[in-house]
Amino acid sequence: MVQIGCDSTQCGPGLCEAGLRRYQSAVCSGTVSADPPVHCATRLGLLEPVVGEPGLLASVPPTIAAGRTLTPLEETLAEGKRRLDALAKTFETAEAVFNGSRQNVPQTSTVLRGARQIAETIDIAVACCRSELLTAQPGGRRPPEILEEVVRRNLELLERGVAQRTLYQHAVWNHPPTAEYIRTVAEAGGSIRTVDEMFDRVIICDRTVAFIPTSSDYSDEALEVRDPSIVWYLANVFEYAWARGTPVDPAVAKRPEIVVSEIEQSIMRFLVAGHTEEKIARGLGISRRTVAEYISRISRRLGSVSRAQLGYLIATNGLLQDREFDGPDRPGPDGHG
């Protein structure tokens, strides 16, 4: 390759125009002056110092110069190729062992990271539901844009004959858009119940795969679970919560009185246990202001003048009902009793 106009500091791996002219002169004359230097020609071995005359350069036949320059490079490349082949075979062996081991030990859980991956994975699993979808949604309200998407998906599942049961907290009755959403789904055939207190969010599809959060919500990280025993356990937890839930009647436009009573009962239990208004609000999925209104109403009814006295009056007046209910039959790992 001939490079035109490059100097001793800028010339590339080839032969510059000046170096080519100097080499031609050396071939014709036998020797040329070493000054000014032509680094490209000397570096390639086409010009070399004359023994005993350091100020002169003599030409070297290209075949000889090429052998001297290229042979070490070829040896280096060959060694690199041998090492590359050996490493490739090593990793092929490791891959075979890895895949063989995974076939014997099925993967039962996968960590999902990032809102997009979580949403897409759950959407695919829900879309593939064939018989049953169980969902528990703690908290008191959901963003309207999410409600629009979820109601469309739920109605499509119901049209395909997929049974749906969803648990919400009583607090949803305080959020009109969410309350309207649950009535819409209930009217279409979905079964919805509300409870006072609830565990973290869970989605169970056909009792074969479940999704649970690894933190307070699904925004950053979630766990996809396919272990039959764990999915059975999560479904059983859902069943026990479902058994004590209050059914949503789509014909009833306002919050049922039993819901008000259960929220009040839960707040009294929290008070007797010594929890703060903020802790009570988080546990019931309602606002701190709503908790304060309930506490004020209970205090007036009992004639309490302090928080300590209120807890004492609740405990001594027998206002806390036992939370007894008939649990469901224990389903087996396949989802049946």
Handedness of CA 101, 103, 106, 111 (dihedral sign): positive
Q: Kindly report the number of other CB atoms within 10 A of residue 301's CB atom.
A: 11
| Structure token pair of residue 316 | 């001594």
**Between 307 and 245, residue with greater pLDDT:** 245
| Structural domain spans, the chain | 2-60, 109-247, 257-316
pLDDT tops 70 at residue 321: no
Domain 257-316 belongs to what architecture?
Answer: Orthogonal Bundle (1.10)
HEC per residue, 83-127: HHHHHHHHHHHHHHHHHHHHHHCCCCEEEEECHHHHHHHHHHHHH
Instruction: Quote the pLDDT of residue 133.
Output: 92
Instruction: Quote the pLDDT of residue 233.
Output: 93
Distance between CA 240 and CA 5 in Å, rounded? Answer: 85
Q: Are 17 and 3 in contact (CB under 8 A)?
A: yes
Sorting pLDDT into bands at 50, 70 and 90, what band is 318? low
Amino acid 4 reads: I
| Structure token pair of residue 15 | 């032969």
Distance between CA 161 and CA 22 in Å, rounded? Answer: 88
% of the chain beyond a pLDDT of 70:
79
Instruction: Quote the pLDDT of residue 298.
Output: 76
- Tell me the DSSP string of 158-199: HHTT-EEEEEEEGGGGGSHHHHHHHHHHHHTT-EEEEESS--
Helix, strand, or coil here: 133? strand
Cβ-count burial of 195 within 10 angstroms (0-12 exposed, 13-18 middle, 19+ buried)?
A: buried
| Structure token pair of residue 275 | 């929890």
Tens digit of pLDDT for each residue in 88-133?
888 888 888 877 766 665 568 888 888 888 888 888 888 888 999 9
Handedness of CA 204, 207, 209, 212 (dihedral sign): positive
Distance between CA 327 and CA 214 in Å, rounded? Answer: 27
Q: Quote the CATH superfamily of domain 109-247.
A: Endonuclease Chain A (3.30.870.10)
Q: Which whole number is the average pLDDT over 30-40?
A: 85
> To which residue do tokens 């809102």 refer?
115
Instruction: Quote the pLDDT of residue 2.
Output: 39
Q: Which whole number is the average pLDDT over 60-70?
A: 85
Q: Are 12 and 3 in contact (CB under 8 A)?
A: yes
Sorting pLDDT into bands at 50, 70 and 90, what band is 316? low
pLDDT tops 90 at residue 235: yes
Q: Which whole number is the average pLDDT over 305-331?
A: 59
pLDDT tops 80 at residue 42: yes
| Structure token pair of residue 164 | 């749906």
Tens digit of pLDDT for each residue in 198-210?
778 889 999 999 9
Tens digit of pLDDT for each residue in 133-176?
998 888 766 666 676 777 778 888 888 888 889 888 877 777 77
Instruction: Quote the pLDDT of residue 271.
Output: 76
Amino acid 103 reads: Q
Distance between CA 122 and CA 104 in Å, rounded? Answer: 26
